[in-house]
Structure 1
Amino acid sequence: MEPVPVHVLLEGPSDVAALEAVLATRAPAVPRTAYRLVDMGGVTNTATHLRAAGPAPVLGLCDERETWVVVGALRRRGLVVEGEQDLGRLGFFVCRADLEEELIRALGVPECMELLGRLGLGGRFATFSGQPAWAGRPVEVRLHRFMGVASGRKVRLAGAMASALPPERVPPPIARLVDRLAGRPP
């Protein structure tokens, strides 16, 4: 009988793209059949995807401001969850603001700018940054917003940023998720 793959619950397609990239570099020995990356279509669908996973083991990522959704969904699954502090023990890892912010911080502004140039997006970012609503804001804030202003850009950039990170600079929540999936001790 085939082992049941671990369901990795992720908020959206950009999270899936980033995890695929990190798994390729940080856990290449983990067979693709050992896990299933699930694009939940939003964190509010966590309970639905926990039910759909049935008895399969489940891991996941969530954003700091949405931990209450995951806590509630895990409680409805019958798990004892006192609060956000229990999420890591249960295999759910929390991004400070969100996954994109974690990637920008880990990669750093100079490398993000270099990446935009390599992807042919440097000019578009400069135009975006020159708009009155964004001029003068911190570069990290502009990068974060720029990722989401065009269809498909967030997925493309999340995957590219994650691919550009050396394994030792992978953001902690993503690293802990990948380590758990790979069976490495915390």
Structure 2
Amino acid sequence: MEFASTRKRAEQLAKEEADRQKAEEQQQEEERLRAEAKKKDEEREAQRRRKEEDALERKRKRKDAQLEKKRVLAVEKAVKKKQRDELRAERKRKREEEKAERKRVLVAERAEKTRRLEEKEAREIRSGNVGYKRRRREESERQRSERITRDTLASTHMMSTRARSKLNK
């Protein structure tokens, strides 16, 4: 009987040992599965982070490209404006030069005309022939200067009514 109880005891110990080993193997399997799950989670997290970083990098590059495009457009616009301003200034300078040239020519023509007229009058005076046209011109100049004087005085009311009526006669 003692032998049977020892055998039972041995079987029970063997069963407990087998259960303990089975539980240990099960625990190791669970730990291995947890470790694999943790590793997969870490890989997924790393992949998600890489995706986010890539998205941020693409966004930054797109923004940089837009800023560069805006900068290039602004530079082009500034260059065009400068060219327009230079062209405008050149045209203005040419117009002013042409205007000055026309004025210079006109003044020269008037001076030449006056010089010829004075020479003609000097010849007439030397020859003693003071012509009808000259007398008419001198008379019209005298009347014109009187009229200017009269109009100026009349417009400023510096003359009395009696003096104005005398002057108008």
- Is this a same-fold pair by TM over 0.5? no
TM-score by length of 1: 0.12
TM-score under structure 2 normalisation? 0.13
When you count helix as a share of all residues, which structure comes out higher?
Answer: 2
Higher strand share: 1
Higher RCO by CA contacts (8 Å cutoff, separation 6 or greater):
1
